[in-house]
Structure 1
């Protein structure tokens, strides 16, 4: 008996040995050693996914099931279950998995106002996910993080406040725009057959999640019933009930006293009860730990209690970071063994998860199913990059144009200035892949105007001094500079541990996937040597690219982003003397999921005066400024004027950029301001003084080509704002106030700098008289609205026709609400009839108790190229009005 017990103890978690455990071990061994004569039910592709999943889960031990409820689900060899990592990001392309087609950031795709096109983008992204999966799946079917088919996108939180750093990931501030485009994205990702998913999409973060970033792990939000039903939940309902998203991610924050991942009201009553959602719910990463950690919600005291309360509410999969930020499988087992949760609840969660994997075909023969012909070669193709260029073009919003654009003739000399002009970071935003052939704005202008002399000076960084790649000539292996370059030591793993696996000499620090001697791998590297500056004065150093680096000068740390993102403008300044050699050490992680790392520095002579001087002979100045994901984003260590923890405290163009822009405009030369950013900016001075302003968002890998083409007039811009551009943050309620009063175009009564739905064109449009299917609507009767739109300008172009509804005098009604939109291409002189079908819910409003109903009375309609608003210097868009009487 002692010998038998010892064998079992080596195979099963250590605990008291009982006859039942011995029987279980013997049975498990029999299953592993005696393959069935015919496929078991879970192995049969012809059976429904739900039946297969239930059969598979029924054959698992509690310990095995517990392991499957974590995002890094381990293999179960005895049942032929491969390991699977559920965590994969696809916000605007396959993210964090090396080279892929990078489309405009989500807020940029929202600016296209083109649902069919968004569907096409998502379908392409799904193809690339399949291509990555085929390339990287192990022989036993196991997949690593960022190489699977469960796509944790889209983010459909309402961008209620432009100070939120993650707003760039959303589809804007409007529930209908978000629901429509988000649904198109989900349907494109998942494909037409839910039984044979192309990928599995997720709606996140459920719910009311929208900043501030620094407090997201402990905030308890108490939205009004009105705001919850009117603003925060409609997009989730649409994606779950209509687009059939197969997964939902619950948020970090608490709502009305319950952590979102443990919320009976949100998950049990609303999601699974009222909306009949039968997919799986994933926790935001570390959110289950937030349930019990004393520094977070402290809603429960232990990991086992946290698991129990979340699984009972309806959370199925626990995403965590391990250790103090995770809930390990033993805690799940403990919860069941101690009666905090039932094994039936664990079974239910596991069934939901395996059903998703079955629908993806992950248990079917290789190459089978409707997506079996996709190969690794289908990633990042020329056709996909062409689609990314089209997306960037569609996303461009022309905010101001005093006639400078499109350029009448190609300038002979162009000065390109600004921190985002030659920045790949500015193209990709966050949650991004790595573009294989990125085109910065500088590169795009040089390509589009080959006959022009194009000069470039950054002039400033985003929030501090400008940075540029370090030249090879300043590095030596020794203080006397007997040998050029830097000594390199490579280490296995990410922590510079053990003996070096390789040594060599590099001319500089410039790492990028695809170099012959630097294939994708997980490694850590140390460059060491001496740097000899050419100027005396303050210098700063940083790595441009992925996080995981630190820099020392003469042994003193001067910059670090080992675990976080840092903007080069935040690096410490060190005083250096020209001609003197200083010891330098650069340490970096090079993760196979990441893109590249390049050493940059800031020198004393790199300043605004240099930039202004560079425009002396220029016929045109293009200033490319704004933000990047280094200063706005998810829970970041950025603390500078106007920024806090990834969020913003000011909507203004950062001070160094504003000062430089003023100096450029003072030269009197024609100037175009190109904003590259993920959220609204209060460019009031530029609106008054700069002839032309372009909002480019984070435009993706082809963004530079799209910007240059817009300047040249290769296409007419037709992007529209998915958010309100306020004059200042002072126009808004406090950031931590989640009430919608005074926020977004629906409830903001002030004058915006540029309103939601706004955007200029190179042509003009005229709307004919609208035709209504009925002047009076009976209760429950839908309405059809038809209107003719004519391109009255001198060139072809797109128009975005927007339909807004106002319910005058109805309590709780917004000022107006978007209820439909269509983007249409019209040749010059062409007329097109557009038809909008409004169901009765389009006229509904939400009362203070959260009840949605249709109140009888008048409903005012507006159909036009934007909202029916104007201000001095901003013309009201073309459009027409109508009124219909609505029955209750």
Structure 2
């Protein structure tokens, strides 16, 4: 037992067990523990299993289940995932602490991605708020609720940058930009880990997936990825690096893809050279689910034993559900193929995080308080979820000020998703209960909106729950006539269309990202009956909305907003909340445009050239996205003027006057973009290097100031070296990446 072991260590150390546990010398305690561990017990700390039995029920009998049960009792398991609830966690923890020889506690992990019991907007939606404080608060509440159910580790945040909305996991990230992605990565890690990791309401965060997972070819999940080192260092890695250096993230997860032909789980450059050595990361790395064994399928490892050797040598510390360490690592050490020092380093990293979580002082610290679960889905938590949801909504279009809805108007509310209480929860809903979101119908009812509801066309899904497949090609048009009739009788139509909550997420890639099923037909039929139509889009990714943009006067991007979805959407539609969200990802005009993103590199033939075909373009489509990165409208207007650039010392200050020119208060995200037109490595046409979220009353103006330093002016060369070069720079400030208010300056470090 752990107390008996500590008592033994105390004798060696010449002090009491209590004093030993209270010592700050964590590394000394780890040294002493490592000296007592057998090779099998060390391998156990590097082995993670998913939940394999009802922990509060009888022990499993026979087969692999019983074998895993016994391994926990023997101290040959270091972590469990998907064990949720105080009673469940305690039961498994007791096996490890009370029955194993050394009593080393387990660490319990779970996918707490956008809330735990209280479900918040999906991460891509939260990123549209551009509100760093709110995003951190969302993660803080998720951590508090997860900890209340015995969990102390989350496999979040996903900090992958992606430019392809076909990839289902764009819903789990912060979009296409590394600067915004890095700011959000730091906020989420701080939210999960808090100020004191040893507190019983904080959990260890995981940055994933190292690296390049979001660049899967064709947007097809788990597919191969191919990109250059300039992209790696300047686009993909910045959020990972920021999370390590600015937020001290405690764990990282490697990815399924290859980099330069090497699977990430076996990539020493990523895991040892960069993460652990160059960035000073002293937490531990966990493989993604079975990614160690999958190196065999990649054609990189000859078999499980080879995969184990490649993974541990490369720096992958803990093996998730792959069994390659469990079955082969001890033999590799005994044969001399793997140095014991490498294993000890991996074990040390795992034990260090367990110490930091306070598990050695009290293995049951996350399950002791019977009142902890009272905070789950508390009114305070739901109030924050509502605030985040409202701030995540993006007004894409509002021709002739069709929105907000006006009192006394008769509204036809159409679309099966308007009454859906499950879809708004999105994917990765953690411990959230199915069918518990506030629907738009319920939101309208609560707000007293005069409306008639018609389903129109359903979005069919497979059997409820992850990971059942989703059926996207419904042909049911039975509700069309009733929907069209309701539209004709209404003053305005609110049509809620989009994706079911399980049509995006892991394994949910789509080749056609238009409105699923017959929803496009419904949109066109309803619009023909009543052109005063507002389209509300629920989705986990940017969809193709080219027809809607050309024909529908008002479009609201509502994502999957979590438990308070219906109230948040209603608040925006009625004008109770003035939308201020901005897109964290470009919306393409067609699938053929993908990838389309704002921070592209200029070609040698940029054009446009009049009456000439030999320049980089499509014959049938503009190069620009339908909606640019950073785009988002308001019910008021904002004007940018008086841009000034001042140089002094080692920085450049850029200031601009921002004015609310409308009749209502509103929030604007002022964005600064930089261009380095001539450099030793070709730089993007624009790069986000600063943003400020500002609330202004009607007619009010304020001075918004940005500071540019080496961190913003520099870039990484193909070899990963950071460089700041002298020369001319262009700067643009405005409400999106298409900002046209600009200036220039010359930078010299001399």
Shorter-chain TM-score bucket reads 0.7 to 0.9
Map of 2:243 onto structure 1: 239
Map of 2:676 onto structure 1: 807
Q: 1:608 aligns with which of 474, 480, 504?
A: 480
2 CA distance for matches of 1:273 and 1:196? 28
User: How does 1:733-744 map onto structure 2 within 5 Å?
Assistant: 743-744=597-598
Deviation, 1:374, is: 8.2
Deviation, 1:40, is: 4.6
Is 1:666 the equivalent of 2:536? Answer: no
Is 1:716 the equivalent of 2:578? Answer: yes
2 CA distance for matches of 1:182 and 1:88? 18
2 CA distance for matches of 1:195 and 1:316? 22
Using a 3 Å threshold, how does the CA distance of structure 1 residues 57 and 730 change in structure 2: closer, same or farther? same
Map of 1:432 onto structure 2: 429
Partner of 1:632, secondary structure, is: coil
Q: 1:107 aligns with which of 124, 127, 141?
A: 124
Deviation, 1:240, is: 1.2
Partner of 1:424, secondary structure, is: coil
User: How does 1:1-400 map onto structure 2 within 5 Å?
Assistant: 39-40=16-17, 44-72=21-49, 73=77, 75=96, 77-79=99-101, 81=103, 84-94=106-116, 100-133=117-150, 148-193=151-196, 198-210=202-214, 211-212=216-217, 219=224, 221-292=225-296, 296-320=297-321, 325-327=322-324, 329-365=326-362, 375-400=372-397
The answer on whether the counterparts of 1:190 and 1:199 sit within 8 Å (CA) in structure 2 is yes
Using a 3 Å threshold, how does the CA distance of structure 1 residues 42 and 697 change in structure 2: closer, same or farther? farther
Using a 3 Å threshold, how does the CA distance of structure 1 residues 172 and 784 change in structure 2: closer, same or farther? same
Using a 3 Å threshold, how does the CA distance of structure 1 residues 447 and 213 change in structure 2: closer, same or farther? farther
1 CA distance for matches of 2:407 and 2:19? 65
Q: 2:724 aligns with which of 854, 859, 865?
A: 854
Using a 3 Å threshold, how does the CA distance of structure 1 residues 411 and 28 change in structure 2: closer, same or farther? closer
1 CA distance for matches of 2:119 and 2:587? 26
The answer on whether the counterparts of 1:216 and 1:253 sit within 8 Å (CA) in structure 2 is no
Map of 2:629 onto structure 1: 756
Using a 3 Å threshold, how does the CA distance of structure 1 residues 703 and 49 change in structure 2: closer, same or farther? farther
Q: How many residues align?
A: 676
Deviation, 1:827, is: 1.9
1:67-115 deviation per Cα after TM superposition (whole angstroms, max 9, x unaligned):
1211233625345536525431121112xxxxx1111000011000111
The answer on whether the counterparts of 1:49 and 1:195 sit within 8 Å (CA) in structure 2 is no
Which TM-score applies when normalising by structure 1? 0.71
1:314-347 deviation per Cα after TM superposition (whole angstroms, max 9, x unaligned):
1111111xxxx54252322222222222332222
Deviation, 1:149, is: 0.9
Partner of 1:273, secondary structure, is: helix
Identify unmatched segments of 5+ residues in structure 1.
1-26, 95-99, 134-147, 468-541, 548-563, 572-601, 636-645, 734-741, 870-875
Deviation, 1:209, is: 0.5
Using a 3 Å threshold, how does the CA distance of structure 1 residues 802 and 755 change in structure 2: closer, same or farther? same
Deviation, 1:165, is: 1.0
Identify unmatched segments of 5+ residues in structure 2.
50-76, 79-95, 607-622
2 CA distance for matches of 1:797 and 1:657? 33
Using a 3 Å threshold, how does the CA distance of structure 1 residues 443 and 347 change in structure 2: closer, same or farther? same
Partner of 2:29, secondary structure, is: helix
Partner of 2:518, secondary structure, is: helix
Partner of 1:675, secondary structure, is: strand
Map of 1:767 onto structure 2: 640
The answer on whether the counterparts of 2:537 and 2:558 sit within 8 Å (CA) in structure 1 is yes
2 CA distance for matches of 1:404 and 1:90? 39
Q: 2:555 aligns with which of 693, 713, 734?
A: 693
1 CA distance for matches of 2:428 and 2:732? 37
The answer on whether the counterparts of 2:405 and 2:573 sit within 8 Å (CA) in structure 1 is no
Task: Point out the structure with the larger helix share.
Answer: 2
Is 1:456 the equivalent of 2:375? Answer: no
User: How does 1:330-729 map onto structure 2 within 5 Å?
Assistant: 330-365=327-362, 375-411=372-408, 413-433=410-430, 435=432, 437-450=436-449, 452-457=450-455, 459-462=456-459, 543=463, 545-547=464-466, 564-569=467-472, 606-635=478-507, 646-729=508-591
Partner of 1:122, secondary structure, is: helix
The answer on whether the counterparts of 2:125 and 2:560 sit within 8 Å (CA) in structure 1 is yes
1 CA distance for matches of 2:122 and 2:4? 52
The answer on whether the counterparts of 1:217 and 1:290 sit within 8 Å (CA) in structure 2 is no
Map of 1:834 onto structure 2: 704
1:564-586 deviation per Cα after TM superposition (whole angstroms, max 9, x unaligned):
32225569xxxxxxxxxxxxxxx
The answer on whether the counterparts of 2:313 and 2:338 sit within 8 Å (CA) in structure 1 is yes
2 CA distance for matches of 1:824 and 1:377? 36
1 CA distance for matches of 2:532 and 2:293? 55
1:751-805 deviation per Cα after TM superposition (whole angstroms, max 9, x unaligned):
211100000001122234234331xx67xx2222233322221111111010110
2 CA distance for matches of 1:230 and 1:306? 30
Deviation, 1:116, is: 1.7
Which TM-score applies when normalising by structure 2? 0.84
2 CA distance for matches of 1:245 and 1:272? 12
Partner of 2:659, secondary structure, is: strand
1:200-252 deviation per Cα after TM superposition (whole angstroms, max 9, x unaligned):
11110000112359965563x44212111121111111111122111110001
Moved more, 62-71 or 190-199: 190-199
The answer on whether the counterparts of 2:204 and 2:249 sit within 8 Å (CA) in structure 1 is yes
2 CA distance for matches of 1:633 and 1:830? 41
Using a 3 Å threshold, how does the CA distance of structure 1 residues 32 and 832 change in structure 2: closer, same or farther? closer
Q: Max radius of gyration: which structure?
A: 1
The answer on whether the counterparts of 2:217 and 2:223 sit within 8 Å (CA) in structure 1 is no
Deviation, 1:692, is: 0.6
2 CA distance for matches of 1:225 and 1:456? 52
1 CA distance for matches of 2:518 and 2:153? 42
Report the aligned-residue RMSD.
3.0
Map of 1:529 onto structure 2: none
The answer on whether the counterparts of 1:53 and 1:352 sit within 8 Å (CA) in structure 2 is no
The answer on whether the counterparts of 1:43 and 1:364 sit within 8 Å (CA) in structure 2 is no
Task: Point out the structure with the larger strand share.
Answer: 1
Map of 1:527 onto structure 2: none
Map of 2:68 onto structure 1: none
Deviation, 1:302, is: 2.8
The answer on whether the counterparts of 1:32 and 1:78 sit within 8 Å (CA) in structure 2 is no
2 CA distance for matches of 1:605 and 1:627? 17
Partner of 1:167, secondary structure, is: helix
The answer on whether the counterparts of 2:492 and 2:530 sit within 8 Å (CA) in structure 1 is no
